[in-house]
Homo-oligomer: A and B are copies of this chain.
Amino acid sequence: MSQPAPHQPISEELRAKLSRCGAATISNALLKRGYRNTFLLGVQGVAPGQPAMVGPAFTLRFIPAREDKDTMALYARDDGLHRRAIEECPPGAVLVMDAGGDARASCMGDMMALRLKMRGVAGVVTDGGFRDVPGIAATGLPSFQRQASGPATPIALHPVEFDAPVGCAGVAIYPGDVIVGDGEGVVAIPRELVEEVADEAFAAAEYEAFAAAHIARGRSIFGLFPATPDSRVEYEQWVTAGRPAIV
């Protein structure tokens, strides 16, 4: 079977599923498949209530700036990769910016965020930082960073490449990997596993809702969470019964 092309948008159904699982639950489904390092530690959303972010990764790689290549004049040119990324990141994709963990200069400001939002980009994540954070939050674009950073990009960062494999917050990101970000954090799913991981994580999240209802009524986590064969039977019967209120 052929591999989906990078950035091929994911289906609405898949997006909906992934946006409701929780990033941590998704990382568990990946761990079961042997992937231990999929959660981007140390990045957080710019606004508490921002919507979940789901989409294939479009990557931009930065290296440290150098004075001959990183002037404000060169930066402003339309063929600069940083600005081109804002115009060329595919709608539905997540722009992943590898800043080498350097938050001494910004990876994005509010104008760029607004443009990404208008273009239908699903969100942005960097292991560096953003400037104009309140303005970015106001655009509604789901955005994740390590630490706010006001200084202009060319002070410390030089964009070199689109859609190479990169590292971001210590996690390998290959173009097309599906990135999910929510209130729990950001996780990267290898593209070829996204369907099965989404199914499993969604099922796990549904089971968790069942378990939570029981725990909220005083039941122990023993024999209930994580699920046991018995509790799984109980759960299936409850689902079959039309998910009656748990009292």
Which residue of chain B lies nearest to A104 when distances are taken between CB atoms in the complex? B41
| Residue A242 CB within 8 A of the other chain | no
Within 8 Å CB of A132, what residues of B? 22, 24, 184
**B87 with A35: CB separation less than 8 A:** no
**A63 with B165: CB separation less than 8 A:** yes
| Residue A10 CB within 8 A of the other chain | no
- Give the number of chain A interface residues (Cβ < 8 Å): 84
**B76 with A114: CB separation less than 8 A:** no
Least CB distance, A111 to chain B, in whole angstroms: 5
Least CB distance, A206 to chain B, in whole angstroms: 14
Known: A22-B132, A64-B171, A76-B226. A87 touches B220 (CB 8 A): yes
Within 8 Å CB of A27, what residues of B? 150-152
Q: How many copies does the complex hold?
A: 6
Within 8 Å CB of A185, what residues of B? 148, 150
**B87 with A134: CB separation less than 8 A:** no
Least CB distance, A48 to chain B, in whole angstroms: 9
Which residue of chain B lies nearest to A69 when distances are taken between CB atoms in the complex? B172
Within 8 Å CB of A86, what residues of B? 221
Q: How far is the CA of A63 from the CA of B164 in the complex (A)?
A: 10
**A184 with B42: CB separation less than 8 A:** no
**A170 with B37: CB separation less than 8 A:** no
**Chain A interfacial positions (CB closer than 8 Å to B):** 22-24, 27-28, 31-32, 34-39, 41-42, 44, 63-69, 72, 75-76, 78, 83, 86-87, 100-104, 106, 109-112, 114-115, 118, 131-135, 147-152, 155, 158, 160-161, 164-167, 170-173, 182-185, 187, 190, 208, 211-212, 215-216, 218, 220-223, 225-226
Pairs A–B under 8 Å by Cβ, sample size 14? A24-B106, A24-B150, A27-B152, A28-B152, A36-B67, A39-B149, A63-B165, A76-B226, A78-B222, A102-B170, A110-B212, A133-B184, A134-B184, A164-B164
* A-B pairs with lowest CB-CB distance, top 3: A134-B183, A24-B131, A24-B150
